C-alpha cells in the first residue's frame, strides 16, 4: 500500500482518509500500535507474581502479566497450535494457561509446558516455535507499562522525554508518589480512534460541547470557579496553556488557575452525586485537616496525553483502544491512593470513595458530549467530495506560539498546535519502514 502522506497531512489540515480509509487503519495497527511504545496496563493491576490482565496491543490480543519470576511480560493471547484465544478471562492469577480448544498448556513465561497425548507428535514439541509469541520490549515508567514490537524504538524514558515531568507531578501529589488503578467506566463510540486523541488537549470545544454540564453545575453550586468554567470568557488570556512535548505527546495545564492553598484543588472540583454531603461530613469530622485531605480526592486539572493511546486526566486514566477504522473503546479507569506514610488514617476510605465518585462527574456527563461529536464527525467524513478537516487554530499568528529551549511548544489553551504537531509524528511513523519483531522463550 502506498499513500501520498505529504498530500494527506498538510500544515494546517488533514485529509478525511486518515479517519475513514480501512487501509490506513490497518497500517496504523502495524506502524503505530506496534511500531511505537503503546500503553498496555498499570503495574498496580498485576501487583503479585502470576497476576495477569488481558488487553490488546492494537488489534493483537495479549496477556499482560507478572510471571512466576516477577518479570513483566506481554504474551500474545494466541495459542501456537491453531491460533485460538488462549485466556478468555479479563484478569486473574495463573502460573499457566490451558488452551480451551485442545488443551495445550503454557507456563506464564510463554513456554509450552505440555500437550495432551504427546505421543501423537513426531515433531519435537519442545521446539521454541511452539512457545507463545511475546512483545520483545516491555518497559514501565513509574508503574505505567508500555510495549513495542519495534527493536529500533528509543528506550521508553527517552521516548517519553519531557513528558515525564507532568507524569511525575501527577503522581507525586499522592502519598508515596503512587496510585492504584481500579475498575473502569467503559465507553464505545462509532468513530476513529484519533478523534479522541485530537480532542484530548482541545480547549476550544469546552464551552460549546459541554454547555449542558456547565449549566447544570451552575444550577447546583456557585460554579464560577470550577474546572471547566475557566473556558467561559477569554480562555486564551488566562495562565493555563497547551504544550506540545515531542514524539506525539501533549499536555494541557490548567493548574496555573488554581489557588495555591490547602483545599485549593478541591475548591474547583466539579459537582458529582452526593458531593456536598460527603464534603460536609468530611469537614465536620476532620476540621482543619479536611482541606488538604479533600485535595487528595480532587481531580488534578491537567490532561497528560501520551501518544497514541493514553491520557491522564483529573484522577483518571483514559485509554483509547481502536477496534476498527470507525469504532473505538474509550476506557476511563479510576485510581485510588494508599496511606503510604501512615498520616491519612481512617479518612482513606472516604477519600477513595470520593475519587470514585468523580467518575460520575465528567466521565458520565462530559465524555458523552465528546463521544457524540466524534460519532457525528465520522458521519460527516463520509462526504467523499468534501475532503479536508482543519486544525489551523493559532496557525500563522505571530507571537502566539512559543518554542521553548527544550524544543517543546507552548500556546494558548484553545490552540490546535498540538494537533498539527502530533499528526507530524503520526506521518513520520506511517511513512517509515517499521520492522516489527516478536520473541519466544528459548
Look at residue 330 and give the partner it binds from ligand FES, Fe ion, none, a contact being a CB closer than 5 to 8 Å depending on partner kind: none
Phi-psi region of 23 (alpha: psi -120 to 50; beta: other; left: phi over 0): alpha
In sequence order, the β-bridge partners of residue 322 are 328
Look at residue 99 and give the partner it binds from ligand FES, Fe ion, none, a contact being a CB closer than 5 to 8 Å depending on partner kind: ligand FES
End-to-end CA distance of the chain: 35
Nearer to ligand FES, 84 or 165 (CB): 84
Nearer to ligand FES, 101 or 208 (CB): 101
Nearer to ligand FES, 129 or 211 (CB): 129
Instruction: Give Cα 276 distance to the centre of its chain.
Output: 30
CA dist list (Å): 95 to 136, 193, 245, 309: 21, 34, 40, 29
Cβ-defined contacts of 370-374 (< 8 Å, 24+): 370/196, 370/199, 370/205, 370/209, 371/187, 371/189, 371/191, 371/330, 373/195, 373/199, 373/205, 373/209, 374/189, 374/191, 374/192, 374/195, 374/196, 374/199, 374/328
CA dist list (Å): 187 to 193, 242, 363: 12, 26, 9
Are the C-beta atoms of residues 318 and 362 closer than 8 Å to each other? no
Residues in the chain: 442
Least distance CB 409 / Fe ion (angstroms)? 22
Least distance CB 34 / ligand FES (angstroms)? 23
Least distance CB 372 / Fe ion (angstroms)? 10
Nearer to ligand FES, 82 or 95 (CB): 82
Instruction: Give Cα 371 distance to the centre of its chain.
Output: 16
Q: How buried is residue 367: exposed, middle or buried, by Cβ count under 10 Å (0-12/13-18/19+)?
A: buried
Angle at the Cα of 212 (from 413 to 228), degrees rounded to 5? 30
* Given 23, 71, 82, 407, the residue binding ligand FES (CB under 6 A): 82
Q: Which residues of this chain interact with Fe ion, rule CB under 5 A?
A: 370
Look at residue 208 and give the partner it binds from Fe ion, ligand FES, none, a contact being a CB closer than 5 to 8 Å depending on partner kind: none
Give the separation between CA 274 and CA 277, rounded to whole angstroms: 6
Least distance CB 125 / ligand FES (angstroms)? 12
Are the C-beta atoms of residues 426 and 31 closer than 8 Å to each other? no
Segment near ligand FES (CB under 6 A); pick from 17-25, 80-88, 248-256, 398-406 = 80-88
Residues between 88 and 147 with contacts to ligand FES, criterion CB under 6 A: 99, 101-104
Least distance CB 278 / Fe ion (angstroms)? 25
* Given 81, 91, 113, 400, the residue binding ligand FES (CB under 6 A): 81
Least distance CB 114 / ligand FES (angstroms)? 11
Site size with ligand FES, rule: CB under 6 A:
9
Look at residue 84 and give the partner it binds from Fe ion, ligand FES, none, a contact being a CB closer than 5 to 8 Å depending on partner kind: ligand FES
Least distance CB 323 / ligand FES (angstroms)? 24
User: Does 283 help bind ligand FES (rule: CB under 6 A)?
Assistant: no
* Given 79, 240, 265, 310, the residue binding ligand FES (CB under 6 A): 79
Least distance CB 316 / ligand FES (angstroms)? 37
For ligand FES, the binding residues (CB under 6 A) are 79, 81-82, 84, 99, 101-104
Amino acid at each position: 500500500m502506498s499513500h501520498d502522506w505529504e498530500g494527506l497531512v498538510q500544515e494546517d489540515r488533514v485529509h478525511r482518509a486518515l479517519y475513514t480509509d480501512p487501509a490506513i487503519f490497518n497500517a496504523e495497527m502495524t506502524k503505530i500500535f506496534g511500531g511505537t511504545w503503546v500503553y498496555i496496563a498499570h503495574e498496580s493491576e498485576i501487583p503479585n507474581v502470576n497476576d495477569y490482565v488481558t488487553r490488546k496491543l492494537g488489534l493483537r490480543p495479549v496477556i499482560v502479566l507478572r510471571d512466576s519470576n516477577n518479570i513483566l511480560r506481554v504474551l500474545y493471547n494466541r495459542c501456537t497450535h491453531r491460533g485460538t484465544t488462549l485466556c478468555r478471562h479479563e484478569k486473574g492469577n495463573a502460573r499457566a494457561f490451558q488452551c480451551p480448544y485442545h488443551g495445550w498448556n503454557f507456563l506464564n513465561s510463554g513456554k509450552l509446558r505440555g500437550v495432551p497425548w504427546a505421543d501423537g507428535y513426531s515433531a519435537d514439541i519442545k521446539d521454541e516455535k511452539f512457545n507463545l509469541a511475546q512483545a520483545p520490549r516491555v518497559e514501565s515508567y513509574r508503574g505505567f507499562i508500555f510495549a513495542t514490537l519495534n527493536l529500533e524504538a528509543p528506550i521508553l524514558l527517552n521516548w517519553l522525554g519531557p513528558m515525564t515531568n507532568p507524569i511525575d507531578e501527577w503522581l507525586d501529589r499522592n502519598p508515596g508518589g503512587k496510585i492504584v488503578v481500579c475498575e473502569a467506566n467503559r465507553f464505545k463510540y462509532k468513530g476513529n480512534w484519533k478523534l479522541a486523541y485530537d480532542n484530548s488537549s482541545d480547549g476550544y470545544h469546552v464551552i460549546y460541547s459541554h454547555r449542558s454540564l456547565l449549566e447544570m453545575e451552575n444550577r447546583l453550586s456557585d460554579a464560577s470557579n470550577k474546572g471547566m468554567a475557566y473556558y467561559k470568557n477569554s480562555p486564551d488570556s488566562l495562565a493555563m496553556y497547551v504544550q506540545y512535548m515531542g514524539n506525539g505527546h501533549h499536555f494541557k495545564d490548567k493548574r496555573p488557575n488554581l489557588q495555591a492553598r490547602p483545599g485549593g484543588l478541591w475548591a474547583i472540583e466539579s459537582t458529582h452525586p452526593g458531593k456536598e454531603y460527603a464534603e460536609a461530613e468530611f469537614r465536620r469530622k476532620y476540621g482543619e485537616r479536611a482541606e488538604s485531605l479533600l485535595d487528595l480526592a480532587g481531580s488534578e486539572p491537567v490532561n497528560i496525553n501520551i501518544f497514541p493511546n493514553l491520557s491522564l486526566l483529573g484522577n483518571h486514566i483514559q485509554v483509547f483502544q481502536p477496534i476498527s477504522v470507525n469504532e473505538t473503546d474509550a476506557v476511563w479507569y479510576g485510581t485510588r491512593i494508599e496511606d503510604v506514610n501512615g498520616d491519612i488514617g481512617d479518612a482513606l476510605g472516604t477519600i477513595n470513595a470520593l475519587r470514585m465518585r468523580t467518575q460520575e462527574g465528567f466521565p458520565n456527563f462530559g465524555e458523552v458530549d465528546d463521544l457524540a461529536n466524534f460519532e457525528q464527525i465520522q458521519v460527516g467524513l463520509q462526504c467523499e467530495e468534501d475532503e479536508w478537516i482543519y486544525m489551523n487554530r493559532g496557525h500563522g499568528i505571530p507571537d502566539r506560539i512559543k518554542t521553548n529551549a527544550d524544543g517543546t511548544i507552548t500556546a494558548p489553551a484553545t490552540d490546535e498546535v498540538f494537533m498539527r504537531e502530533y499528526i507530524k509524528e503520526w506521518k513520520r511513523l506511517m511513512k517509515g519502514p517499521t520492522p516489527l519483531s516478536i520473541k519466544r522463550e528459548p
